Structure 1
Amino acid sequence: MTFHCSLSPRAPLSDKSVSDQGNGAPRSVSQPTITTTDAAANEPWATAIPISQPHAPHQDVILQSAGGLLKADVTITSHAGEIVVRKDYRLWQGTALAPLARYLVNREARMLERLGGWSHTPDFKGFDGRYAFYMSHIEGVDLGEARRHNMPVRYGDIQRMVAELHRFHITHNDLRWTNILVRPDGHMVLIDFASAFHAAPGSLLHPIMNRLRRTDIAGTFKFKRKLTGRALTPTEQRLKAAPRWLLLMRKGWKHYLLPRLKKG
């Protein structure tokens, strides 16, 4: 693991910089940062780097840098006296995608608030302006990294975690190796709820939940063979097959909407 460390002396805040922070603009004061090239540490919200409390207010750890389409800066930092993770979409402020960036911030924050107190998600810790929010820092590595290091990971725990999520009338919709963190004690935490969906019972959108639950369950099958060595059953194979409407949506996004958004 290599580190690139940039340390700058802290300067007193000017009146202008205090005002900018109040309206959600990026801080004008230079903050020391640490960037790690370790593959596991660069997964959003996950780090294997121990952060010592005395130095936490003076250095940030960059987990992900914005750059791709609507990709956020993700940083371990300090807020209200504790180590947290900030997910920041300020790169898109002032662009044509600014409304969508604000929507993603509010959407994910609402999902974390709904799941507040559930041990399988980070806790929401507040907004930082209109384009960023804070969440609790999870000490651990992503599921793929845990498997590569032979950490004890049970497929049944993933199934139970997803089933619990569905009891909150929420689907994740983006289950992948990098969106499940494994703590040193083996406890799993779901991250990245930007694509999550919630529909209360009785609402007009609630009928969609059955289809999305099925898609979530099918999303766990990708972990089964690698974690258990067992092949999918015929029933699981049928569940895994994406419905035609979903294939058409993915094709439209990949070949029509996404290229046009990138062109601006």
Structure 2
Amino acid sequence: MTTRPCPFSIPAAPDARARVLKRGTRFLEPDVYVARLGTRQAVFKDYRRYRRTPLSPLARLLVRREARILERLSGWGYAPALLGTIGGLVLGMEFIDGQVLGRDVAMTSDEVFRRLKSAIATLHAAGIAHNDLHGSNILVSGGIPRVVDFASALPMPAWLARSPLGRQLRRSDLANVVKLQSRLTGTPPSPAEAVVLAEPRWVRAIRGAWKRLYRGKA
């Protein structure tokens, strides 16, 4: 599938009118900013500082991969709309005028989480795991949760979705949502959710081995 290019251009670097949401300081982390396009605003994930570096192919891969995920989710209703890519190193998407989940208590309710859980269930049914669900990646706009930042999302073909790894990826997404709900609203997990939150033995074993390895190197 070929990802459509953006039907507009942006300057070589965000100007003073652009609102920077995040500076990329870590490995292969983009600058993220909001800029005006005519009468509307758009969000850009900009990897152009990697142009003409050995990391350029990886940055282009990240842009293309996330763009394809957003294109696949067109019509889902809970993700920003893809506007396109620019030069292979910039991803343009819809600006969502909302609040980060939990920042405004009045916009955090069990109904928001009910909608969010339903949205994640349909995301999984479409064969995609978000793989990075936390509060700052969920915006609430008009009482509707919108999920952003699909850089870590993983498309799951049927064989992967049926595997222990696929089940763990789905479990992890739901567990993150349930933990957020419990922390922000005080609503405890339901019995069914408590079962989901219980990590399988093999996951606990891997996590424990990693912690022992990390402490041994510290």
Shared fold (TM-score greater than 0.5)?
A: yes
For the pair 1:151 / 2:107, whether they are aligned, the reply is yes
TM-fit CA distance, 1:82: 3.8
Aligned partners of 1:95 and 1:82: how far apart in 2?
33
**Could you say what secondary structure the match of 2:107 adopts?**
coil
Q: How does 1:18-167 map to 2 (within 5 A)?
A: 27-28=11-12, 32-33=15-16, 59-79=17-37, 82-147=40-105, 150-153=106-109, 154=111, 155-167=113-125
Q: Give the structure 1 partner of residue 196 of structure 2.
A: 239
Q: Per the alignment, do residues 175 and 95 of structure 1 end up closer, same or farther by CA in structure 2, a change over 3 Å counting? A: same
Q: Report the secondary structure of 1:138's partner residue.
A: coil
Q: Name the SS for the 1:182 alignment partner.
A: strand
Instruction: Answer yes or no: is the 8 Å Cα contact 1:146–1:182 preserved in 2.
Output: no
Q: Distance in 2 between matches of 1:162 and 1:186?
A: 16
Structure 1 unmatched runs, 5+: 1-25, 34-58, 260-264
Q: 1:197 aligns with which of 142, 146, 154?
A: 154
The alignment partner of 1:120 has SS state of: coil
Distance 1:224 1:110, change over 3 A: same
Asked if 1:210 is matched to 2:167, the reply is: yes
Specify which of 107, 129, 135 is matched with residue 177 of structure 1.
135
d(CA) in 2 for partners of 1:31, 1:215: 35
Greater C-alpha radius of gyration: 1
* Aligned-residue identity in percent: 35
Q: Please tell me whether the aligned partners of residues 46 and 89 of structure 2 are also in contact (alpha carbons under 8 angstroms).
A: yes
Partner of 1:36: none
Deviation at 1:130, TM superposition (A): 1.5
Q: Is the 8 A contact 1:111 1:193 kept in 2?
A: yes
Contact 2:102–2:108, Cα closer than 8 Å, also in 1: no
1:230 aligns with 2:178: no
Task: Tell me: CA distance 1:221–1:105, structure 2 relative to 1, closer, same or farther (3 Å).
Answer: same
Runs of at least 5 residues in structure 2 that lack an aligned partner in the other structure: 1-9
Aligned residues: 200
Q: Go from structure 1 to structure 2 and tell me whether the alpha carbon gap of 1:222 and 1:31 turns closer, same or farther (over 3 Å shift).
A: closer
Displacement of 1:245 after TM fit?
A: 5.1
Work out the CA distance in 1 between the residues paired with 2:207 and 2:108: 37
Displacement after TM superposition at 1:160 (Å): 1.2
Contact 2:100 2:138 in 1 (8 A): yes
Any runs of at least 4 consecutive aligned residues in structure 1 with deviations exceeding 6 A, and if so which?
none
With structure 1 as the length reference, what TM-score do the two structures score?
Answer: 0.66
1:143 alignment partner AA: L
Secondary structure, counterpart of 2:92 in structure 1: strand
Q: Which has the higher contact order (CA 8 A, sep 6+)?
A: 2
Aligned Cα root-mean-square deviation (Å): 2.9
The more displaced of 185-194 and 157-166 is: 157-166
Give the C-alpha shift of residue 235 in structure 1: 4.6
